[in-house]
């Protein structure tokens, strides 16, 4: 095992869960719900957040990929007369908690392997904490994590390093003993700013060419992490 790494901090969407397979499918119904069944309005809302309802895919620059629910809700509320960002955020959180989840790899055996190696594990997501915990519970891995933080947990959102530093402090590790694993530049910048190693995965929407200059390694998915850690 890589003796210098004693903790792994995961992003959630695009890392633990395949981004498009989970959130693009969810977005089709969520946007139609917000639009109260009005297909033209749903198309307008989709355009505001960089989503193509017909291709069922997010643009690589979509604010949904690395932004917070509040940021996305603000964009959507601008296209919903009479709706406030707070109301849209609440509805998005409610719908996100029951999103259809596509695991990037079988998560339970992977987390068990990492735990068996003595690693501390955490999740740092720009999603809200409540739906994040619901997603981990839904696939049976919530008990694997020593730390779960969302943008609303008091540490700030990525790319700021607050959640990363919070994890290291919570589990009693130096940030240099932790690797931040994520699919976006926000993840990599947050980990690097905290003084962590950073590993990118390609289960989000960013390409290897975009991520490689900012990462210590680029892996196809988190299933390759044990090999990188020399477990």
Give this prediction's pTM: 0.92
Q: Where in the chain is the domain with CATH 3.40.50.1000?
A: 7-18+103-228
Burial class (CB in 10 A: 0-12, 13-18, 19+), 96: buried
Among 3.40.50.1000, 2.40.30.170, 3.40.50.261, 3.40.605.10, what is the CATH number of 7-18+103-228?
A: 3.40.50.1000
pLDDT digits (tens, 9 = 90+) for 55-101: 999 998 899 998 899 999 999 999 999 999 999 999 998 898 888 89
**Cis bond before residue 3 (omega within 30° of 0):** no
| DSSP designation for 99 | P
Cβ contacts of 47 within 8 Å, gap of 6 or more: none
* CA-derived radius of gyration, the chain: 17
pLDDT digits (tens, 9 = 90+) for 204-219: 999 999 999 999 999 9
Give residue 30's pLDDT. Answer: 96
| DSSP designation for 224 | G
């Amino acid at each position: 095992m890589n003796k210098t790494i004693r903790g792994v901090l995961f992003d959630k969407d695009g890392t633990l869960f395949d981004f498009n397979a989970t959130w693009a499918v969810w977005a089709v119904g969520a946007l139609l719900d917000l639009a109260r069944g009005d297909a033209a309005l749903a198309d307008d809302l989709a355009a505001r957040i960089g989503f193509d309802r017909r291709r069922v895919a997010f643009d690589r620059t979509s604010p949904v990929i690395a932004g917070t629910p509040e940021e996305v809700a603000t964009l959507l509320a601008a296209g919903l007369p009479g709706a406030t960002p707070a109301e849209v955020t609440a509805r998005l959180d409610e719908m996100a908690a029951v999103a259809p989840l596509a695991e990037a790899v079988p998560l339970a055996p992977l987390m068990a392997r990492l735990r068996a190696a003595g690693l501390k594990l955490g999740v740092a997501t720009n999603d809200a904490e409540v739906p994040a915990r619901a997603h981990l519970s839904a696939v049976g891995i919530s008990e694997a994590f020593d730390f779960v933080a969302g943008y609303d947990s008091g540490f700030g959102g990525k790319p700021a390093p607050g959640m990363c530093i919070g994890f290291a402090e919570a589990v009693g590790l130096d940030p240099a003993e932790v690797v931040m694993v994520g699919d976006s530049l926000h993840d990599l910048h947050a980990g690097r700013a905290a003084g962590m190693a950073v590993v990118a995965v390609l289960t989000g929407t960013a390409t290897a060419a975009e991520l490689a200059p900012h990462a210590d390694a680029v892996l196809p998915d988190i299933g390759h992490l044990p090999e990188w850690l020399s477990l």
